[in-house]
């Protein structure tokens, strides 16, 4: 039963999906982490940790980051949003 509850290695958490999509969107717009941090009034370290999926980001900060990039929050939580370019921007 416990084994069935464990997440598979390939299944990403929503935090990881958001982080990967944030990084890909930022890179597509040719914006540095520092610039995104300035636009969102968050620290660069925080942005880095969110992108790497190690920071548990609040819904409020997700919204702030999406607005700072000019992209909808729904796009940043969509697991399929950047699937076609996966690997090229990572």
Which CATH number goes with the domain that contains 55? 1.10.260.40
Q: What's the DSSP call for residue 89?
A: -
Range of the structural domain that residue 24 is part of? 13-85
Let me know if residue 8 belongs to a domain: no
Residue 73 lies in a domain: yes
- Would you say residue 36 lies in a domain? yes
CB 50 within 8 A of CB 44: no
Residues in contact with 14: Cβ distance below 8 Å, sequence separation at least 6, in sequence order: 77
pLDDT in tens, 12-62: 899 999 999 999 999 999 999 999 999 999 999 999 999 999 999 999 999
Q: Tens digit of pLDDT for each residue in 30-43?
A: 999 999 999 999 99
60 found inside a domain = yes
Tally of domains in the chain: 1
Model pLDDT for residues 71-90, shown as the tens digit of each residue: 999 999 999 887 766 555 55
Q: Is residue 62 included in any domain, yes or no?
A: yes
pTM over 0.85: no
Please indicate, yes or no, if residue 5 is contained in any of the structural domains. Answer: no
Residue 4 is assigned to a structural domain of this protein: no
């Amino acid at each position: 039963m416990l084994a069935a509850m464990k997440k598979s290695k390939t299944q990403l958490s929503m935090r990881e999906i958001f982080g990967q999509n944030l990084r890909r969107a930022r890179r597509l717009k040719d914006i540095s982490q520092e610039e995104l941090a300035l636009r969102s009034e968050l620290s660069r370290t925080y942005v880095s940790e969110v992108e790497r999926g190690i920071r548990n980001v609040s819904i409020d900060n997700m919204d702030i980051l999406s607005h700072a990039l000019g992209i909808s929050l729904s796009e940043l939580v969509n697991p399929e949003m950047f699937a076609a370019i996966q690997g090229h921007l990572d």
